[in-house]
Amino acid sequence: MTFHILTIFPEFFSGPFEHGVIRKAQAEGRLEIRVHDLRHWTYDRHRTVDDRPFGGGEGMLLKPEPLFEAVEAILPKRTPKQKVILLSAQGRRFTQALAREFSMMNDLLLICGRYEGVDERVAEHLADAEVSIGDFVLSGGELAAAAIVDSVARLLPGVLGNEHSTRNESFCEENEGLLDCPQYTRPAEYRGWAVPDVLLGGNHEEIKRWRRAASLAKTERLRPDLMESRELRKN
């Protein structure tokens, strides 16, 4: 799979993908991350990518022409396996389910907004979807793009070794969309806090039951909204 990131700050990405499994997966050719400088598609002396909003108001917007030209140059004939996503605080919320959907693509192009945002015609006529990583406002789409690439990349075949599975984690179907269960490692007692007894014994059935109950309890406590969507799915 190839990830494309369209940004006015290409240097931003010299760090986030150079660690751990994502770095290894790139070296092994399991995925490719191409960072494209939006200014490449500007033709004036100042390489202008932004302009003032019609109707007044603060700040600047990314103008449409460089974005349209860039996307059309990077993915000239868009197929159903190629998706163009505009990062936006106003977008559909990014979830593990959407990460899984994206992991089925051949190409994922992420457009990073900046300043006060992006000319609306990009959302309406260029991007396949507007996606937000949460109900808060970032100063640019770059951090959001890095989060999406990371979460999608680890779902690709072979990216996580056998020691890891993406099938028993928080939010996944196999886990009924619940949070993962609490986990512990040594020491069995730390500062007087003991690891639950059941985990120290070797009874796998009991451990399984305990984990499921702990998963449910933690989800109920921290994410009651996930419990509700689980009930809805069951009906």
In contact, 196 and 210? CB cutoff 8 Å: yes
214-221: long-range contacts, CB 8 A cutoff, minimum separation 24:
214/181, 214/182, 215/175, 215/178, 215/179, 215/180, 215/181, 216/178, 218/179, 218/181, 218/182, 219/178, 219/179
Q: Where are the beta strands (DSSP E) in 23-149?
A: 32-37, 50-51, 61-62, 82-93, 107-111, 129-132
Nearest residue (CB) to ligand SAH, 61 versus 214:
61
- Residue from 113, 152, 172, 178 touching ligand SAH (CB under 6 A): that is 113
Q: Which stretch binds ligand SAH (CB under 6 A): 102-110, 112-120, 198-206, 227-235?
A: 112-120
Name which of residues 55 to 94 contact ligand SAH (CB under 6 A): 87-90
Q: Side chain identity at 71, as an amino acid letter? A: V
Query: What is the pairing mode between strands 193-194 and 189-190?
Result: antiparallel
Spell out the residues 6+ positions from residue 157 whose beta carbon is closer than 8 angstroms to its own.
30
Query: Is 6 a residue that touches ligand SAH (CB under 6 A)?
Result: no
Minimum distance between the CB of residue 143 and ligand SAH, rounded to whole angstroms?
A: 8
Query: Is 141 a residue that touches ligand SAH (CB under 6 A)?
Result: yes
Nearest residue (CB) to ligand SAH, 144 versus 199:
144
Nearest residue (CB) to ligand SAH, 17 versus 219:
17
Nearest residue (CB) to ligand SAH, 90 versus 203:
90
Name 61's bridge partners: 51
Which pair of tokens denotes residue 87? 């990062």
Query: Is 144 a residue that touches ligand SAH (CB under 6 A)?
Result: yes
Q: Which stretch binds ligand SAH (CB under 6 A): 42-50, 129-137, 164-172, 206-214?
A: 129-137
Binding region for ligand SAH (CB under 6 A): 87-90, 112-114, 116-118, 132-134, 136-138, 140-141, 144
